[in-house]
Structures are given as structure tokens and as C-alpha cells.
Amino acid sequence: MFNAAGHGGQVTEQLEDNRNTGVQDSDAWSAHKTETGVVYYYNALTGESTYQKPTGYKGELEKVATEPVPVSWDKLAGTNWSIVTTSDGKKYYYDNKQKVSSWQLPPEVCEILKNAESGSLKEGSTSLQDAATIENKGVISIDASTPAIQTGGRDSLPLRQTVAPASPSPLDLIKKKLQDAGASSAPSALATSSATSELNGSKPADAALKGQLVANNGEKLKDNNGDVNISDSSSDSDDEEHGPSKEDCIRQFKVMLKERGVAPFSKWEKELPKIVFDPRFKAIPSHSTRRAIFDHYVRTRAEEERKEKRAALKAAVEAYKELLEEASEDINQKTDYQEFKRKWGADTRFEALDRKEREILFSEKVKAVQEKVQSMRKAVIANFKSMLRESKDITSTSRWAKVKENFRSDPRYKAMKHEERETIFNEYIVELKSAEQEAEQAAKAKVDEQAKLKERERETRKRKEREEQEMERVKMKIRRKEAVSSYQALLVEMIKDPKASWTESKPKLEKDPQGRARNPDLGQGDAEKLFRDHVKDLYERCVRDFRALLSEVITPEVAARTTAEGKTAINSWSEAKGHLRSDLRYNKLPSKDKESIWRRYADDLTRKLRQSDTKEKDKSDTDGKQPRSSDPPRRR
């Protein structure tokens, strides 16, 4: 068994070697004929097919023979073999059961011929004798499992069946519209583009198919008795060396599928009648290889058709755009589609595109013309206004009739249409007025802004002054508080007599080495006021201390003590002094103040003692009036 992928790689390497060894392009081209007699050319190096004669082709077209196709099918009675007659008059054998084709006389047919000679098969002798005259051309192997319908068997196909013409692709149709009807280069260009587009996307599959083709060419199928059918293809080895390569066969097979109109995702059985009689179909000897190429083609054909449609649409659009450029002189901003169609509708480039696309592109063209005209008009207007702007005599109150004579020699004046000159001049005057108004508004706004700025500066300055004054006031308050606190500390240190006078104490206070009595932060009268408050506090403290002394010394018990003269501590100041004189708190107050405070204290204490005696008396009276438990109850 052959390695299909490996052998395909060898074939590719061999082609690459041929390129490297300097095979000339002219030698790589070969001429062939289709079944309709049309000559086409194939390049073995590039795999390209074309209907145009390549530059440097050295072959002779007269010697190119039309490739034969099957035209009749005769069943051999008593065997599985049939005789197939081609268009060139040659015949070969085909086994419907084994799916084997051969140019040689099959062994089974030889046996029948021998029997025919002995008279056992007289009915088929004529056909068998004709079969013996077939040239010895070797064996073509076909899978034994392939149904007859898939290989063109007589049971499945009518004799001399004609192949349906291939449906052209969208790209071919549009390109055909774009070509002249009598152009001889049209078929070659279409075939080249279609073959090239088909080959570009199928290289991986081609490599596998090439290997499969080589492997299937070397397969040996057994006959009904188990013997191996060995072909005499070795006798044709010289012919094969000069024949198409396997890569060429694969490419031509794909070209055939496209020409025959094989649809994407179509079935093998459905399309087989279209291709079975094409010589390019027989160029692939293996059924499995044909089927693999066919399956790959129908799978990838949809995407290729989409690419062809896109390419066709692009080509048609470009051609239509070229038509629009050629018709630019007849197209202005007021031209409509129907007017354009009446003049250019017969052009092939016009018909190659759909109406909707034509109208869209035409509208774009007209729009571009309109934009160009508008741009040119804007430029003319801008130049005209620039001319007016250069004149220093034109103001917002100028009139066109008075100033137009100054511009008659200017080319910018002449470029503007006569009916538009005054209109543009008036527009310029309006612009001047607007500019003046804007300038006035800007000047006013500037003045207002300056006034606002000055007002903001004034307010800022006032606010800053207030803040500074407030800060200074706070600082003065803090300094005065510190000065008062220092002066009060001085008074505590030096003035301890509640009977001290300001006149006598002031000189002493001013002699303070720290200068606390002369602090400038003290206001006028603050020193004297603080002095008097301090002395008042001292006096009130002495009064509180003296009252506390009275409470501690002259108690109710002491007040109850009576001397021989009948004096007590609460009715005699002299008696009270005797009890108080020994305490230091007694000497802090003046005598007149001591006595008045003592007297108020004595009155309060006497009142309290009386109230206490009254309560005790009332209580004793109440206790004496209560009845005894042994006394009889009173009558009511």
C-alpha cells in the first residue's frame, strides 16, 4: 500500500525541484481540447488553466486531439463485462460487478471467445470478435464496492447521454456584462479567474487527494476466483510520462465540476450524470479519489461562491464608478437618475449592477458634485468678503451702489455672480454691524467686570480690615486679661488689710519691680476699681470669718450663762468681747463693725432661743392635759 499523504508530498517536492532546475515556462504549458472542441492550455508548474494562448507556447495546435468521451455501451451476454465505445472510435471493457475498466481483453471474455469458436455461444460471437480488436491500453482500477450508478454503468445511464451545460457563476455573469460581446479574450479571462480562485483555497485537501490518487493507481483488485488482476499499464509508461500529472488531473477535475455547474452541498449520485462522460472524470482512475475530490468541492464551493459574488459585486461597483467618472461632464447638482439612465443606460457597466446599487452610487456622485459646487461657492464668497474686508472705506453704514465701482477691476469681484454681489455685500454689512455690537458688548462687559473687580477688591479690603481689627481686639482683650490677672496677683501679695485706702496703697503698688501696677493694658480707673474690689473681698471675708467666730464661741449654752450683774454674751457687748478677743479673726474688723455684726447675731440667737422655749412649754402643757387610763370617762 502507498502512503497517500507522503506520496503527495513527494509529487510536490518533485514539482519544486523542476522549478529549481530551471524548467522554462514555455515548456510547462500543454494544449488540450474539451469535448466541444475548444482548445485550452494547462501549466504543469503553476497548475493554471487558461483559454488564451500563453506567451512562448511552442506546441502545434493542429496536433491537439479532442479528448474522447464514451458514446455507446454494449452489454456482453453471459458476462459482467460491457464494451464502451468512445468518440474517437476506440473501445474498452468495463466490468459492472468488479467495477474494473481495461483496454485488454479480460480473461472471462477470452473463455467466452473460446467457447464461441466451438459454437457454444453463437449469439454473442459477433460482439466478442469485435472486442478482440480493441487495442491493448492497460487497466483502469475502480473500487469494487462502488455502485454502477456512481461510475457510469449502463444500468444507470442512458446510452450516448449528453451532459447538461454548466451554470455560470455570478462573477462570470457580471464579468460577461462588462466585456464586449465579441471580445475573444472573455472565455480565457473567466476560466483563468475561476480556476485560480478555486485552487487558492484547497491546497491541504489537494495534497491528500494527490496521495490518494497515487495509492489507488497502485491498488490490485482480485477477480471472482481470487486471482489478482494485473494490468499491462507498463506498456503505456512512456505515454504516462508525457501525459498530464496527477496534480493536473485533480485541478482539471475541479474545473470540470465547476464548469458542469455542481452546486454546493450537492449529492454524488445527483451530479454523476453531468460528469461521468467528461474525459477529465476518467483522468482520475480511482473512484474513492473522485469521491473525495467531489466531497471537498461541494463543501467548499459555497464559500467560494460567496467570494466570487463579493468579487463580482466589487468589480461591478468599480466599473460603475468608472462610468460615473466618465460621465462627470453630464452630471451636475441638479441631474436626476432617470436623466442619467437615458443617456448612459446602454453601457454594459451600467447594466452590470443592480438598480438599487446604481441609484445609491449615483446619489453619492451627485452629492459629491453638490459638495464640490458648494465648496467652490464658499471659496468665491470668502474671497469676495476678503476683498470687501481689505477696503478701509466700507463701514456698517455703507451702500453697495456707492462702493461697487471701487472693485470692478478686482478678479474676486468678477468671480462672483452679478445677482449675488449685492446680497453678499449686505451679508458682510450685517457681519460688520454684528461685530460692532459684539465689540460694544465686549467693552461694556469689560467695564462692568472692572467695576465688579474694584467692588470685590473694596469688599475684600474692608473684610481684611475688620478681621485685623477683630484680631487686634482679641489680642487687646487677652493682654488686658493678663494685665488684670497680674495686677490682682499684686493686690493679693501687697494688700491684706481690708481697712487699706487707695490713696495710701497706690504709691506702694506702683513701686512693684515687675511694673504690674503700671501696665498700659489696664484702662483708666481699672487699677483703682480692682483695688476697691480686692479690699471689698477682704472685708467680706473678714465678716464671714467673724460670723463664723460668733457661731463657734457664742453658743446657746454660753448665752444662757448670766453674770452677777445679770449680763450675758447676747445682751452685753463687753461680755461678748471677753469671749471673742482671744481669736485672731476678732482683730481683722473695725470695732464698730464688730459690734453691729455681734448685735445682729445676738438678736437672731435670742429669737431662736425664745422659739425653742415656747415649743418646749407647749409640749409640756400638752403632756399634762392627757387623761389617765384609770380615770372614769367624762360625760357628754
Q: Please give the Cα distance from 10 to 228 (Å, whole number).
A: 28
340 falls within a domain: yes
Q: Do residues 402 and 340 share a domain?
A: no
Examine the domain organization and report whether 289 and 160 are in the same domain. yes
Residue 462 lies in a domain: no
- The parent domain of residue 135 ranges over 4-314
Q: Write the CATH number for 343.
A: 1.10.10
Question: Each residue of 103-154: pLDDT tens digit?
Answer: 778 887 777 776 755 653 343 333 334 433 333 333 333 333 333 333 333 3
* pLDDT greater than 70 at residue 286: yes
Question: Comparing 175-179, 231-235, 341-345, which segment has the lowest mean pLDDT?
Answer: 231-235
Question: Residues 444, 582: one domain?
Answer: no
Q: Are residues 381 and 395 in the same domain?
A: no
Residues 6+ apart with CB under 8 A from 510: 517, 518
Instruction: From 314, 341, 368, give the residue that closes a domain.
Output: 314
The residue whose grid cell reads 465686549 is 442
What mean pLDDT comes out for the span 553-565?
80
Q: How confident is the model at residue 64 (pLDDT cuts 50, 70, 90)?
A: low
Give the residue-averaged pLDDT of 347-356. Answer: 86
End position of a domain, from candidates 255, 284, 314: 314
Query: What pLDDT does 57 receive?
Result: 75
Contacts (Cβ under 8 Å, ≥6 apart) of 355:
none
Q: Do 338 and 439 fall into the same domain?
A: no
Tell me: do 370 and 414 sit in the same domain.
no
Are 482 and 521 in contact, with CB atoms under 8 Å apart? yes
Render pLDDT for 449-467 as a digit per residue (tens, 0 to 9).
Answer: 999 999 999 999 999 999 9
Q: Give, in degrees to the nearest 5, the angle at Cα 106 between 105 and 108.
A: 130
Pairwise CA distance, residues 356 & 362, whole Å? 10
Same domain, yes or no, for 444 and 568?
no
What is the DSSP pairing of strand 100-102 with strand 91-95? antiparallel
Q: How far apart are CA 175 and CA 189, in angstroms?
A: 9
Tens of pLDDT, residues 587-636: 777 777 788 888 888 888 888 888 877 777 666 666 655 555 444 444 33
- Percent of the chain residues topping a pLDDT of 70: 68
| Residue 620 lies inside a defined structural domain of this protein | no
Q: Is the pLDDT of residue 176 over 80?
A: no
Q: What are phi and psi of 136, to 5 degrees?
A: -85, 100
* In a domain? residue 504: no
Residue 297 burial (CB count, 10 A) = 22
Of 77 and 347, the structure prediction assigns the larger pLDDT to 347
Higher pLDDT, 489 or 243: 489
Q: Single out the residue in 281, 314, 347 at which a domain terminates.
A: 314
365 and 301 inside one domain: no
Confidence band, pLDDT 50/70/90 cuts, at residue 26: low
Q: Residue 273 to residues 260, 276, 290, 419: CA-CA distances in angstroms? A: 10, 6, 14, 77
**Does residue 447 surpass a pLDDT of 90?**
yes
Percentage of the chain modeled with pLDDT above 90: 10
**pLDDT value of residue 539:** 84
- Tell me if 474 is assigned to some domain: no
pLDDT at 218 over 70: no
User: Per the structure block, which three cell numbers stand in for 80?
Assistant: 459482467
What are the C-alpha distances in Å from 103 to residues 78, 135, 455? 19, 6, 119
Do residues 438 and 557 both lie within one domain?
no
Whether 507 is covered by a domain: the verdict is no
Residue 296 lies in a domain: yes
Region 142-169 average pLDDT: 38
Number of domains forming the structure of the chain: 4
Q: pLDDT for 91-102, tens place per residue?
A: 788 887 777 788
Assess if residue 333 is contained within a domain: yes
Confidence of residue 12 (pLDDT cuts 50, 70, 90): very low
The reported pLDDT for the residue numbered 34 is 65
- pLDDT of 198 over the 60 cut: no
**Tens of pLDDT, residues 180-195:** 433 433 333 333 333 3
* HEC assignment per residue over 336-349: CHHHHHHHHCCCHH
Whole-angstrom distance, CA of residue 416 vs CA of residue 428: 14
3-state helix, strand, coil in the chain (%, to 5): 60, 5, 35
Q: What pLDDT does 165 receive?
A: 42
Q: Which positions ≥6 away from 32 have C-beta within 8 Å?
A: 39, 40, 41, 42, 64, 67, 244
586, three cell numbers: 476678732
Tell me: do 310 and 336 sit in the same domain: no
Q: How confident is the model at residue 35 (pLDDT cuts 50, 70, 90)?
A: low
Cβ neighbours, 10 Å, residue 215: 20
Q: What is the mean pLDDT of residues 210-222?
A: 38
pLDDT, position 132: 39
Eight-state DSSP code of residue 119:
T
- 120 and 267 in a single domain? The answer is yes
Q: Which residue has the higher pLDDT, 274 or 20?
A: 274
Is pLDDT of 518 > 90?
no
166 lies in the same domain as 301: yes
What is the pLDDT confidence band of residue 293, given thresholds at 50, 70 and 90? Answer: very high
Instruction: Give Cα separations from 546 to 201, 282, 318, 538, 597 (angstroms).
Output: 128, 150, 128, 12, 8
Q: Across-strand partners of 31?
A: 41
**Alpha carbon distance 424, 418 (integer Å):** 11
Rounded-to-integer distance, Cα 514 and Cα 524, Å: 19
Least confident of 389-403, 503-517, 617-631: 617-631
